[in-house]
Amino acid sequence: MEASSKNMRRKRYVRSAPAEAVALTAHKVRLLQAIADLTISSVPQLARWTELSDQSTRRHMRVLFDAGLVRVVAVPRAALACATSSNDAHLLFGSAPNIFTLSPKGQALLYREGLIDRAKPLPSYGPKNTLFLAHELMLTDARIWLSLCARQHAEHQVLSWHDGGEAAMDLHRTQPPKSVYPDAWFVYALGEQRLVGLLEVDRSTERGARRWKEKIAAYTALFSGSRLKGITGYAHARLMVITLTERRREALTSFIAHHAPAHLSKRFWLADHSIFATPGFSVAHWQRPSGNSLEPFIAPDGHHPDSTPLSETSEHP
């Protein structure tokens, strides 16, 4: 029986015909909606977002995959290795954790049932764009972390999240830079106040300083006029940068301190990806261009001695 079971093991990237019609339980619907919200996500990420166990998530996702409602992205293990992994032969074998995106069939089902507002273009990921894929999964980690921060407080809520092309900000300029492209920006409610965050996920995959010099120039233009409020509805925002390693965080903090004008430099808050393990704003994980010590993003009393307001109460335009 055991040998027979092994021979019948389902292939990872090949759908098996469901033995019967798939029952869309509450957990399966939650997972489908999670994938629609997150765009791309791994089993551990989906489990964290939905608060299901990894084992339960994996089992439900296999059913959804066989039913044609989600896609599995084929990725080599080395593409998603963490920064502390040994750079040796073990990365040559095996696959990364299962990574999922919504399929056209799954999107059509959610739209038909009124569970998503609109259908949007579905991404196409695979072994040829693994560098971009790793970046997108780190951005997914950031979004999940922000959501978990909100779940810790009844008066907190992620009001909006914009990533990809939706995050682009037209500066209404005739001279370069004409736009700024954060990886994401969001509006977060802290009771009556609002925090606007412009998020950059930095995996240090590009050599040289050209990309960050261009970003600093674009953000300088954004914060020098009224476009920030025109786009987000709010006049103040923090620039949040998440790096892959502590060393990169320290180097980038120093770079910003030396190249960004003072009025922009004070808006930057940098942390490495270890913050994702501990949701919350009061842990001292953040570094500022103005100093070397780590600080909480929001002090335990809800305030911070910063000349730039943390948040504000304002109406959207």
- The CATH number of whichever domain residue 117 belongs to comes to 1.10.10.10
In this structure, the number of other CB atoms found within 10 A of the CB of residue 44 comes to: 15
| Domain identity same for 146 and 119 | no
Judged against a pLDDT cut of 80, whether residue 221 lies above it is answered with: yes
- Per-residue pLDDT band at 314 (split at 50, 70, 90): very low
Closest to 290 measured CA to CA, from 315, 252, 254, 241: 254
Decide which of 77, 98, 125 is a domain's last residue. 125
Instruction: For residue range 38-87, list pLDDT tens digits in order.
Output: 999 999 999 999 999 999 999 999 999 999 999 998 776 655 655 555 55
Closest to 237 measured CA to CA, from 280, 185, 285: 185
| Domain identity same for 98 and 18 | yes
16 vs 154: CA distance, rounded Å = 43
| Domain identity same for 121 and 144 | no
282 vs 217: CA distance, rounded Å = 30
* Reported pTM: 0.85
Cis ω for the linkage preceding 177 (within 30 of 0):
yes
Phi, psi of 42 (to 5 degrees): -95, 170
DSSP the chain: -HHHHHHTPPPTTSPPPPSSPPP--HHHHHHHHHHHHHSEEEHHHHHHHHT--HHHHHHHHHHHHHTTSEEEE--BGGGG--TTS--SGGGGSSBPSPEEEE-HHHHHHHHHTTSSS---PPP---GGGHHHHHHHHHHHHHHHHHHHHHHT-TTEEEEEEEEGGGG-EE---SSS--EE--SEEEEEEETTEEEEEEEEEE---S-SSHHHHHHHHHHHHHHHSSHHHHHHS-S--EEEEEESSHHHHHHHHHHHHHHS-HHHHTTEEEEEGGGGGS--SSSEEEE-TT-SSEEESS-TTS----SS-S-B-----
Using a 10 angstrom Cβ sphere, with 0-12 exposed, 13-18 middle and 19 or more buried, the burial of residue 208 is: exposed
| Domain identity same for 274 and 206 | yes
Decide which of 125, 150, 167 is a domain's last residue. 125
Structural domain boundaries, residue 119: 2-125
| Domain identity same for 71 and 21 | yes
Decide which of 125, 151, 186 is a domain's last residue. 125
Instruction: Report yes or no on 179 lying in a domain.
Output: yes
Q: What is the predicted pLDDT for the residue at 182? A: 98
Instruction: Report yes or no on 251 lying in a domain.
Output: yes
Judged against a pLDDT cut of 90, whether residue 122 lies above it is answered with: no
Instruction: Report yes or no on 313 lying in a domain.
Output: no
* CA end-to-end span of the chain: 66
| Domain identity same for 95 and 158 | no
- Per-residue pLDDT band at 17 (split at 50, 70, 90): low
| Domain identity same for 254 and 178 | yes
In this structure, the number of other CB atoms found within 10 A of the CB of residue 306 comes to: 15
- Which range has the worst mean pLDDT, 38-52, 244-258, 286-300? 286-300
Q: What is the predicted pLDDT for the residue at 3? A: 44
Place of tokens 């029986």: 1
| Domain identity same for 10 and 120 | yes
- Per-residue pLDDT band at 299 (split at 50, 70, 90): confident
Instruction: Report yes or no on 315 lying in a domain.
Output: no
Radius of gyration of the chain (CA): 21
Residues 209-227, mean pLDDT to the nearest whole number? 94
Instruction: Report yes or no on 19 lying in a domain.
Output: yes
Domain count, the chain: 2
Residue 244 in tokens: 């892959």
Judged against a pLDDT cut of 50, whether residue 306 lies above it is answered with: no
